[in-house]
Amino acid sequence: MPGRLAGKNAIITGAAGGIGLETSILFAKEGANVLMADISAEAVQRAEAKVKQLVPNASRVESIVCDVSKEDQVEKMVSTLDPWGGLDIIFNNAGIMHSQDDDAVATPEAIWDLTHNINVKGVWFGCKHAVLSLRKHKKTKGSIINTASVVALVGSATPQLAYTASKGAVLAMTRELAMVHAREGFRFNSLCPAPLNTPLLQDWLGDDKPKRLRREIHFPSGRFGEAVEQAQAVVFLASDEASFVNGHDMVVDGGMTKAYVTPE
């Protein structure tokens, strides 16, 4: 199938919903062979069926259950692509924001550890096994994209300390890997999404107008982002169009992190 990602083998983690699902759909539309990975078996199978339904002429779409915080599972996920010819792209996107995540005083240590095991160690394992696979298959180029967040760039007075620290780690780790592997042709870039119009956030905000306004007012565009707007940026970073984009913090936030006073 022709497209901007034609012939490329891609893994997307956290593929069952939100950004991961929208990216799976766009990758399939752009001709990639896609392995959708998620910790939830039922959800990722449903998501796989949705991609196949929306993109009936997709090259290859499969799914796998993988907890990214477990290295043996990440290794198995990446090796699934060996018979496909090896990985070309990995989008390390799985992440959690726990409801008990709070400030320095109130965040339980177990929540800190859980968040960092998934959001940081999970991304490290994804990067590590991507590099090993790219080398094994003698690839001269590869694209690794890791999901961070705007909270890695700007502070928030509604704290989720473990989450914020984990996303800062993703940015720093990605930048360093970009330098380490540049001469091998392996590019590493971060995606920094702003708060999105996903059910998670919207259900939480509900009809509470002041709570909603407290967040919406920071967007120059006057609205939250959509998951598909993140996915569009990921397609670019994954494609050869971004061949000279490396170590970049791709901020997709409608200008939020550049705002001082926003339009009324």
* 101 makes contact with ligand NAD (CB under 6 A): no
* 35 makes contact with ligand NAD (CB under 6 A): no
CB of 70 to ligand NAD, least distance (A): 8
Bridge partners, residue 191, by sequence = 147, 250
Choosing from 28, 35, 39, 165, the residue that interacts with ligand NAD (CB under 6 A) is 39
Closer of 16 and 177 to ligand NAD (Cβ)? 16
Closer of 1 and 227 to ligand NAD (Cβ)? 227
* 40 makes contact with ligand NAD (CB under 6 A): yes
CA 106, CA 98: separation in Å to the nearest integer? 13
**Of the ranges 14-22, 102-110, 213-221, 236-244, which one interacts with ligand NAD (CB under 6 A)?**
14-22
* 74 makes contact with ligand NAD (CB under 6 A): no
**Of the ranges 66-74, 82-90, 152-160, 244-252, which one interacts with ligand NAD (CB under 6 A)?**
66-74
SS3 of the chain: the string is CCCCCCCCEEEEECCCCHHHHHHHHHHHHCCCEEEEEECCHHHHHHHHHHHHHHCCCCCEEEEEECCCCCHHHHHHHHHCCHHHCCCCEEEECCCCCCCCCCCCCCCCHHHHHHHHHHHHHHHHHHHHHHHHHHHHCCCCCEEEEEECCHHHCCCCCCCCHHHHHHHHHHHHHHHHHHHHCHHHCEEEEEEEECCECCHHHHHHHCCCHHHHHHHHCCCCCCCCECHHHHHHHHHHHHCHHHCCCCCCEEEECCCHHHCCCCCC
Q: Give the binding-site size for ligand NAD (rule: CB under 6 A).
A: 31
* 19 makes contact with ligand NAD (CB under 6 A): yes
Q: Give the active site residues.
A: 163
CB of 21 to ligand NAD, least distance (A): 7
Query: Within positions 102 to 121, which residues make up the interface with ligand NAD, using CB under 6 A?
Result: 118
CB 228 within 8 A of CB 192: no
Closer of 185 and 220 to ligand NAD (Cβ)? 220
Query: Within positions 156 to 215, which residues make up the interface with ligand NAD, using CB under 6 A?
Result: 193, 195-196, 198, 200-201
Q: Are β-strands 60-65 and 249-252 bridged in parallel, bridged antiparallel, or unpaired?
A: unpaired
Choosing from 3, 17, 31, 142, the residue that interacts with ligand NAD (CB under 6 A) is 17
Choosing from 23, 24, 93, 164, the residue that interacts with ligand NAD (CB under 6 A) is 93
Give, in degrees to the nearest 5, the angle at Cα 65 between 61 and 70.
130
**Of the ranges 9-17, 103-111, 177-185, 210-218, which one interacts with ligand NAD (CB under 6 A)?**
9-17
CA 210, CA 108: separation in Å to the nearest integer? 28
* 149 makes contact with ligand NAD (CB under 6 A): yes
Where along the sequence are the contacts to ligand NAD (CB under 6 A)? 13-14, 16-20, 38-40, 43, 66-69, 93-97, 118, 122, 147, 149, 193, 195-196, 198, 200-201, 227
